[in-house]
Structures are given as C-alpha cells and as structure tokens.
C-alpha cells in the first residue's frame, strides 16, 4: 500500500488496528513503518534484519510485532463499528481531512459517525469553559449563528458549556458541525448530551481517535484537542481560565500555524483571564465575526484551492503526476525540467500542455513553467 492509497481492505485495516496495540509503537513509528514497507501486512512480513534497519526499532518491538497477527482487536473493532454505523478512516484513506493531515502528529485512525465530507468546507473551532457566564453563552450563540450564516463548519469538543452551545446552536440554525470527542463513539459523554448526540450526525460528524469502548478518561481530552484545532482554519476562545483545555487547544493551533482568536471580557472575571493572556501574546481580538473573516479569508481561499487541486491531481496519470510534483511556484525552464523528470522536451511539452488545460500549470514567456 503506497502512501497515497485509498480505503484499506478489511484484512489490512484489522492488522493496522492491531499495530496500535503493540507496546513501543506509537502513531509516528506506525507512519514510518508504513512508509518503509508499504502496508500493515508488509510490516509483519518483513524480516527481523529489515526491521532492525529502521530507526528506533529494536528487538523488543520486533518481538511485539510477531504477536500482532494473532490479536482479535482489529476484527472486533471493525465488527463493533459496523454494528454502530461507525466508519474507520485511516491516515492513508483519500477521505482523511486534508487540513488534519498537515499537523505534526495526525492520528493514524479516525473513528467517524456522520458525514466526514463536511470538512471539505472551511471550518472554525470554537472552544471555552465548561461553566460559562451568561455573557459567554450569549457571545458563543451569536458567533455560531454568524458563522453558520457564512457557511462555516463549526468544530468543538462536545464537552459541557461552550462546546455544547456550539454544536446545539449550529444544528438549530441549520448549519454543519464536527464534534471531536475524548472517548469511543459508542460512549456518550457527557451523558446529559444524549439527545444532542442523536441529532448531530444528521447535520455533521462525530470524530474520535479512540477505539470503541474507550472511556472518557481525563488524559484523553488534552490529546483530542490537537484534532479540534487541526481540522480548523482557526480556533476561537470564548471564555477560559488560564489553565484549561481551551488554552491547550489555542496553543496547539499556534503550533499548527493556524489562527487564534480571543473574545475579550471583564477584567474582573477569571473566565476572561485566558482570552486576555492570548490577546497579550498576539491572538486576534474579536469584537465581531468581521474580525474573524478578515484573518481567515486568505486561508479559506487557499484551503479551497488546495481542495480543488487535490481533486484535480487525483485524476492525473503517472507521467502527469511526475511532472506536476517536479514543478513549484518558481518558474523553471522546460529544458531543466526535462532533465529532472527524464523526458524529452517534445514529450514533456505535451504533458505540460495537458496540465495547463487542467488549470494546474502556467506557461510564461521564454518556455518557463510553474504551478498555479
């Protein structure tokens, strides 16, 4: 299975799930092993000598891999997901959200209930305290209503307080929302959100990196926050104390080179301390949705362009892909490009013209070419 493979077959998916149970093998090692050996079965069929050549793959991990095939974890998870209407989307699946794939530590799996394709549209995360003030509630409701009117997908963590308001108001306003949870998708948490959980998949999607049956342990929530910010062009903090999950999400968004927005509040309120600290550190102060749109409009256009380009490049044949990958936004002369891709100038010109017709390449005077 190459890095750009599509949906995994059940047997490979089962093996990949099993790999997550091997001690000493985290998501990063799994990504490196898949890159090296092409597929989960390729990893398990590799000899100890081949595995030893991999960085940080020692005897203990190789021993762990020998027992992976015999586990029933993967097949059990697949059966549970099928019964619950949950999809398992691997990092190598074409349906995996493009923005999330760009972060440093994307999940190897997403467990998904609902329509994941909504995230092909620009999305913004809104997070905050589990115990908002009346001011915080009003701000969250107003922001969500305005974002829905501008056709943004809202992203939040399905927790009590601000998160719940985000999802509930989005649904009420007829918008689309993504809820990233810190437990298995067969576990409703918090339990008082049962009705919201039933309504949400018809207007959005539940997402988790945690297998079915995973309880909402405290350690899961900081980890899921990187997915909330990773799915979004920017993260909006409504109300949050200085040490809170919302502030973790904001810092992760900064690390992911995403926008961070903060709602100002009363200097006397501890719930405003988090947003005010972010504003002091350079977060965008938000008075209205216009302050948000001003920052994300460029990113949104870039995201839309990347989405369309990904769809177009998926249709390219092998020669066209080779040429397209070799091109950058910096112009290159056709003779130099021909040498890089190993084609004659005449053959390359035909490929470049086809890429130009597809709207992927631009030709400039002097036989110079670049990506659009």
Instruction: Indicate the residue among 254, 280, 302 that finishes a domain.
Output: 302
110 - beta bridge partners? 89
Q: Are residues 263 and 322 in the same domain?
A: no
| Count, residues in the chain | 372
Q: Are residues 167 and 293 in the same domain?
A: yes
Q: Are residues 287 and 341 in the same domain?
A: no
pLDDT in tens, 249-284: 999 999 998 999 999 999 999 999 999 999 999 999
Indicate whether 103 belongs to any domain. Answer: no
Q: Are residues 137 and 174 in the same domain?
A: yes
Indicate whether 251 belongs to any domain. Answer: yes
Indicate whether 100 belongs to any domain. Answer: no
pLDDT at 362: 83
Indicate whether 35 belongs to any domain. Answer: yes
Instruction: Indicate the residue among 63, 82, 101 that finishes a domain.
Output: 82
**Distance between CA 100 and CA 209 in Å, rounded?**
12
Q: Are residues 159 and 203 in the same domain?
A: yes
Percent of the residues in the chain that have a pLDDT greater than 70, as a whole number: 93
Q: Are residues 179 and 279 in the same domain?
A: yes
Indicate whether 104 belongs to any domain. Answer: no
Decide if 244 contacts 274 (C-beta within 8 A): yes
pLDDT in tens, 137-158: 999 999 999 999 998 999 999 9
Indicate whether 5 belongs to any domain. Answer: yes
Instruction: Indicate the residue among 302, 332, 357 that finishes a domain.
Output: 302
**Distance between CA 150 and CA 207 in Å, rounded?**
23
Indicate whether 178 belongs to any domain. Answer: yes
Enter the pTM of the model.
0.78
- Split into its structural domains, the chain has a count of 3
Please provide residue 66's backbone torsions phi and psi, each rounded to the nearest 5 degrees. Answer: -65, -20
Indicate whether 360 belongs to any domain. Answer: yes
Q: How far apart are the first and last CA of the chain?
A: 30
The residue segments making up the domain with residue 69 are 1-82
Q: Are residues 291 and 336 in the same domain?
A: no
Q: Are residues 327 and 296 in the same domain?
A: no
Token readout for 153 is: 């997908």
Q: Are residues 165 and 273 in the same domain?
A: yes
The band of 207, judged by pLDDT with boundaries at 50, 70 and 90, is: very high
């Amino acid at each position: 299975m190459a890095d750009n493979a599509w949906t995994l077959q059940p047997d490979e998916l089962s093996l990949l799930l099993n790999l997550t149970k091997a001690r000493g093998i985290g998501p990063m090692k799994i990504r490196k092993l898949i890159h090296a050996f092409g597929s989960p079965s390729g990893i398990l069929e590799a000899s100890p000598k081949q595995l030893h050549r991999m960085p940080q793959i020692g005897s203990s991990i190789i021993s762990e891999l020998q027992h992976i095939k015999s586990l029933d974890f993967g097949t059990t998870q697949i059966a549970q997901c099928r019964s619950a209407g949950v999809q398992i989307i691997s990092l190598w699946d074409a349906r995996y959200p493009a923005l999330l794939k760009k972060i440093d530590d994307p999940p190897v799996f997403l467990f998904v209930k609902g329509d994941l394709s909504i995230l092909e549209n620009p999305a913004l995360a809104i997070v905050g305290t589990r115990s908002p003030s009346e001011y915080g509630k009003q701000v969250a409701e107003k922001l969500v209503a305005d974002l829905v009117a501008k056709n943004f997908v809202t992203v939040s963590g399905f927790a009590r307080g601000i998160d719940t308001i985000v999802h509930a108001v989005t649904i009420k306003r007829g918008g689309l929302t993504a809820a990233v949870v810190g437990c298995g998708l067969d576990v409703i948490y918090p339990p008082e959100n049962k009705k919201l959980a039933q309504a949400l998949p018809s207007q959005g999607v539940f997402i988790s990196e945690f297998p079915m049956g995973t309880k909402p342990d405290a350690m899961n929530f900081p980890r899921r926050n990187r997915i909330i910010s990773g799915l979004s062009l920017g993260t909006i903090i409504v109300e949050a104390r200085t040490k809170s999950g919302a502030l973790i999400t904001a810092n992760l968004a900064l690390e992911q080179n995403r926008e961070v927005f903060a709602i100002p509040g009363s200097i006397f309120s501890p719930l405003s301390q988090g947003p005010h600290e972010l504003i002091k550190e350079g977060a965008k102060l938000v008075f209205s949705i216009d302050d948000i749109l001003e920052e994300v409009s460029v990113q949104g256009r870039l995201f839309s362009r990347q989405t369309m380009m990904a769809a177009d490049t998926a249709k390219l044949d092998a020669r066209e892909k080779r040429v397209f990958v070799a091109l950058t936004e910096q112009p290159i002369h056709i003779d130099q490009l021909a040498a890089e891709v190993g084609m004659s100038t005449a053959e390359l010109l035909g490929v470049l013209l086809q890429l130009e017709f597809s709207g992927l390449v631009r030709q400039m005077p002097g036989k110079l070419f670049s990506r659009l």
